[in-house]
Structure formats: structure tokens, C-alpha cells
Amino acid sequence: MNQFLDWGKILNTSTDIIELEKLVFVVFSVFCLQFIIKLINVVFVADQRPAMSSAINTVGSLISLIVVVVLLKTTQGSLLYLGASFSIINLIVPLLAGIWFFNTSYKKYKPSLKFVDFSHLKELMSLGLRFFIMQGAALVVFMTDNIIITQISGPQDVTPYNIAFKYFGIITMVFTIITTPLWSAYTEAYVKKDYAWIRKITSKTFKLWMLIVVGLIGMLFLSEYAYQAWVGDKVSIPFSLSLVMAIWVMLTTSIMVFSNFLSGISKIKLSLWHSVFVTIVNIPLSIYFAKNLGMGSVGVMLASICCILPRIVFQPIQYFKIMNGTAKGIWNK
């Protein structure tokens, strides 16, 4: 793959191309292996123990931080060492966790080819492919945003974008941790036809989201002071970027109110087609806003906001149709 791509031009940098190619190979290899290694995280979520999954990620991040400090003390600056360390550590930690738990508390769920029932292959592959496409679409959006900003505004604008993204992303992280266990819980309740419980939990989740909106407004008006305390005067982050980032988090968390239910009962065909739509539209729309309208990184995030608006409309409609028993055709798939 590397021999056909000029990563210097893609990332708009003069960094050693050989080093970049090595880093891309490592990151891509680790990314592929994670589909297998991080299976234990999926088991934790299915068992309604998302805290354990989060703990694995937290341990990986802490070890990565320690490694960064060690690298700063013992080596000269190297993008390869830094990227490889982050990637490999976040692969080793879930690997060790998987080995431990699949040989102790989850021993009866330990993966083995002898337990594979190929009669369910078509059904599982079909559903798995749908989720894969949806996750892939999200990955395309997040990965290409930084590249587009780098190409149009320069690498220096990637830093403010990511700082604002991580600042407001705290809300997304908290809301995700709270609502992730509902995915498997919705599945169980739907199978048992416990619709009263589903309605009650969805209502509580919506009320929690309203509190999230209040928190986002507070974070927005305190953002200047938060950035100052975090990065000082080294990076300037415009209020317009903070505003669109807050709107993005508000909208994506609102989607989670209904998406956990729809994903839990595998009614995702509408979401699948929307993901395909986002994959096609997001990049040209981001370039148009960022370059043609001169909006830079703000335009890139605004394009992402425009792309998710259809889901904000159709997912609540699909939820109420399913709960009222009136879902037909694509609304029930």
C-alpha cells in the first residue's frame, strides 16, 4: 500500500517519508489485529460490564503516557517511536486481558473453532457486515477530517481542532459510558416484549441528554478559560470552532438516545444507508465548506454536522413506529 501513496503529500508534511511509511504500516497492522484482539471488550459490553472495557482502555492510556515520558527522557523526538508505542500498547493490554478473562471468569466463552456453527454464518455475516460498514463510515469521517484540514489550512490548524474535539469529547465519553450497557439490555427487553421498560429507560436517557445539553452550554462559555488552563497561550482556538464542536457533540449524543435501542434489536437498515450516504458526501462537503467558503476547520466540522442531520430525524421516527407496532418496510429492518 505504501508504495502507491505519498504520505508526505497526504499529510502535508516534510517529515522523513521512510519513517512515515513505517509508522503507517505499524498502525494499519495493529488496526487490523484489533478486530480479533479486542473481542474481550465486546464480551464485557454484552455482559453489561462496560466499566471493565473502559478500564482496559484506561490502563492502555496510562501505560502509553508512561512510555511517552520514558521516550522523552531516553530518545530524540521520533514520530515512529511515539506512534508505534501507542498502537502496540493498546493492542497488548486487551490481549493480556483477553487471555486472563477467557481462562478464568469467561472460560466457557473462550473462542474456539470447534464451537463454530456454520449454519448461522450467513445471518451473522450479514448483520456483522452492516455494523462494519456503519463503523467504517464513522472512521472515514474522523480520519479524513484531519487530512482535509492539513491539506487546506495546514498542519498547524489540526492542533486547535483536536484540542476542541477532545475538550467537548469529554461529554461524549461520559454519555457513552452511561448508555452503552443499554444496548444489550434493550435486546433482552425486546425479546421479552417488555416495552414498558424500554419506554421508561428511553425517557430517562432523553432526560439525561437534556442535562448533557446544559453541561455543553456551560463548557462552551467556559471554553476559553479551560483552554488557557490546559495549553496556555501556545494554541489559539476560535470561539466559532468551539461552537460547532459543541453542536456536534449535542447532536451525536442525541442520536445515542435511540441508536442503542435500534442497534440492540438489529433494526439498522436505515442507519446503514445513511452511513453510505455520509461516506460519499462528507469529504466533498468538507472541502467545499473549508476551501471554497474559506471556513477552514470550522467548515470541516460543519460538514459533519450537516451529514448527521438525517439520522437525527429518522431515528426517533423509527423508534416510535417500532414501539407503536406500526413499523413496516424499511422502518422495520
The pLDDT of residue 234: 79
Q: What mean pLDDT is reported for the chain? A: 84
Residue 180: pLDDT band with limits 50, 70, 90: confident
Mean local confidence (pLDDT), 133-140: 74
Residue 316: pLDDT band with limits 50, 70, 90: very high
3-state helix/strand/coil string of the chain: CHHHCCHHHHCCCCCCHHHHHHHHHHHHHHHHHHHHHCHHHHHHHHCCCHHHHHHHHHHHHHHHHHHHHHHHHHCCCCHHHHHHHHHHHHHHHHHHHHHHHCCCCCHHHCCCHHHCCHHHHHHHHHHHHHHHHHHHHHHHHHHHHHHHHHHHCCHHHHHHHHHHHHHHHHHHHHHHHHHCCHHHHHHHHHHCCCHHHHHHHHHHHHHHHHHHHHHHHHHHHHHHHHHHHHHCCCCCCCHHHHHHHHHHHHHHHHHHHHHHHHHHCCCCHHHHHHHHHHHHHHHHHHHHHHHHCCCHHHHHHHHHHHHHHHHHHHHHHHHHHHHHCCCCHHHHC
Note the pLDDT tens digit of each residue in 250-308: 999 999 999 999 988 989 888 889 888 888 898 999 999 998 998 988 999 999 999 99
**Are 90 and 65 within 8 A, CB to CB?**
no
pLDDT(95) > 70: yes
pLDDT(81) > 80: no
Q: Give percent above pLDDT 70 in the chain.
A: 91
The pLDDT of residue 252: 93
Task: Report which of residues 133 and 17 the model is more confident about.
Answer: 133
The pLDDT of residue 127: 64
Residue 6: pLDDT band with limits 50, 70, 90: low
Cα–Cα distance measured from residue 110 to residue 23, given in angstroms and rounded to the nearest whole number: 32
**Out of 47-56, 158-167, 185-194, least confident range:** 47-56
- pTM for this prediction: 0.77
The pLDDT of residue 83: 77
Helix axes 296-324, 121-152, angle to 10 degrees: 160
The pLDDT of residue 289: 93
Highest mean pLDDT among 40-44, 102-106, 183-187, 244-248: 244-248
The pLDDT of residue 11: 59
Cα–Cα distance measured from residue 322 to residue 262, given in angstroms and rounded to the nearest whole number: 9
pLDDT(197) > 90: yes
Task: Report which of residues 16 and 102 the model is more confident about.
Answer: 102
Task: Report which of residues 95 and 115 the model is more confident about.
Answer: 95
Cα–Cα distance measured from residue 224 to residue 230, given in angstroms and rounded to the nearest whole number: 10
Task: Report which of residues 182 and 130 the model is more confident about.
Answer: 182
